[in-house]
Amino acid sequence: MKIGILTSGGDAPGMNAAIRAVVRTAIYHKIDVYGINRGYAGLLDKDISPLNVYSVADILQKGGTILRTSRSEFFPTEAGQKRAAEVLREYGIEHLIIIGGDGSLSGALALKKLGVSVVGIPGTIDNDFGASDFTIGFDTAVTTAIEAIGKIRDTTFSHNRINVVQVMGRTCGDIALYAGFSVGAEALIIPEIETNLEGICDRLLAGKDRGKLHSIVMLAEGCGSYRDYCKKIEELTQVTTKGTNLGYIQRGGSPSHFDRNLASFMGYKAVEAIVNDNTGNVVVQRKGEYIMVPLEEALETPKAFRKDMYKIAKILSI
């Protein structure tokens, strides 16, 4: 049996751990694995080579993805998807494992509809895939953000300022929420909650009146740019307000223990699903259990918002 594996969309720490788990589980089952470089674009370009036990040695702890990744413009078209299915047939690749976010997994569903046997693994720092409690890379991105915010706090405190820290997540506020919760951010601006900037500034000023010397405002990129918020917050509070966009450092680095475990379980389960003829699914984690969910259902599962966490964050960070 031959299986292919690709990583697609934004890379995420832990993708390598998932690739390693797929290759090693396949070796255990005496299955050949082909690595498809640069995601769907590489599949269309036939950038494909066999992976063996040595290919995945010493990658468990590495950030990024050894297969590299891309956001293909041609693959989302009907012609692109048909071509991709043809290439897989040409190489005799009977099953394809796709590691990526919802865009990449929608591509997996398109291939499934063309008769390709696929298994998805949710990998994105955004944690915006509703079917799984967590996606590969999110925990590491939050940990990286927390470390960076600790440094930002030192200087923000020293200058008695406000600092708006912008984090990634597209339309999902999870990185801002979880990092903000963990650093005790004084305010959270996330897409899931309508922003009342006057209210936020009143809270910041009330904190200042009680003797707070500085404040951190967490901003999810889906709500806009930190530059605009800095200007408005400074106008409303009359406190010097600086901003920091954590940018791509959130996407790099060695995966946390949580992401290594998540990715290893998911990679293992993906191959087991192939062995057990249970494809067309995504491996997800729910309440610590790993289960297979049909791609159609997984892609339609709305992302749940941790209202409890938001509420507690507000209570604890006055």
Shortest distance, position 251 Cβ to ligand F6P, whole Å: 5
Among 126, 139, 174, 186, binds ligand F6P (CB under 6 A): 126
Please tell me whether residue 10 binds ligand F6P under the rule CB under 6 A: yes
Annotated active-site residue 308? The verdict is: no
Stretch that binds ligand F6P, among 43-51, 52-60, 119-127, 231-239 (CB under 6 A): 119-127
Interface mask toward ligand F6P for 158-197; x: CB under 6 A:
----------xxx---------------------------
Question: What are the E-state strand segments in the chain?
Answer: 2-7, 32-36, 48-51, 95-100, 117-122, 162-167, 187-189, 215-220, 241-245, 281-286, 289-294
Distance CA 169, CA 167 (A): 7
Show the site string, 60-99: x = touches ligand F6P by CB under 6 A, - = not. ----------------------------------------
168 marked among binding-site residues: yes
The answer to whether 44 touches 75, Cβ cutoff 8 Å, is: yes
CA distances from 302 to 155, 243, 270, 305 (A): 39, 31, 23, 9
User: Who contacts 267 (Cβ-Cβ below 8 Å, separation ≥6)?
Assistant: 17, 18, 19, 20, 21, 22, 25, 121
**Active-site pick, 11, 126, 139, 259:** 126
For residue 105, what are its two tokens? Answer: 């997994």
Q: 40 and 80 in contact (C-beta within 8 Å)?
A: yes
Among 38, 112, 161, 251, indicate the residue that binds ligand F6P (CB under 6 A).
Answer: 251
- Give the shortest CB-234-to-ligand F6P separation in angstroms: 26
For ligand F6P, give the closer residue by CB, 4 or 100: 100
312 annotated as belonging to a binding site for a ligand? no
User: Exposed (0-12), middle (13-18) or buried (19+): which is 237, by Cβ within 10 Å?
Assistant: middle
- The DSSP secondary structure of 211-253, one letter per residue, reads T---EEEEEEGGG--HHHHHHHHHHHH-S-EEEEE-GGGGG-S
Q: Which of 39, 63, 80, 101 binds ligand F6P (CB under 6 A)?
A: 101
End-to-end CA distance of the chain: 59
73-99: b (≥16 Cβ within 10 Å) or e: eebeeeebbebbbebbeeeebbbbbbb
Applying CB under 6 A, among 37, 104, 124, 144 the residue interacting with ligand F6P is 124
| Closer CB to ligand F6P, 192 or 221, in the complex | 221
Residue among 186 and 221 whose Cβ is closer to ligand F6P: 221
Window 212 to 241, contacts with ligand F6P (CB under 6 A)? 221
* 308 annotated among ligand-binding-site residues: no
Q: Does 125 bind ligand F6P (CB under 6 A)?
A: yes
d(CA 117, CA 288) in angstroms, rounded, equals: 26
20 is in an annotated binding site: yes
> Where along the sequence are the contacts to ligand F6P (CB under 6 A)?
9-10, 101, 124-126, 168-170, 221, 251
Q: Which residues are annotated as a binding site for substrate?
A: 124-126, 161, 168-170, 221, 242, 248-251
Residues that are catalytic = 126
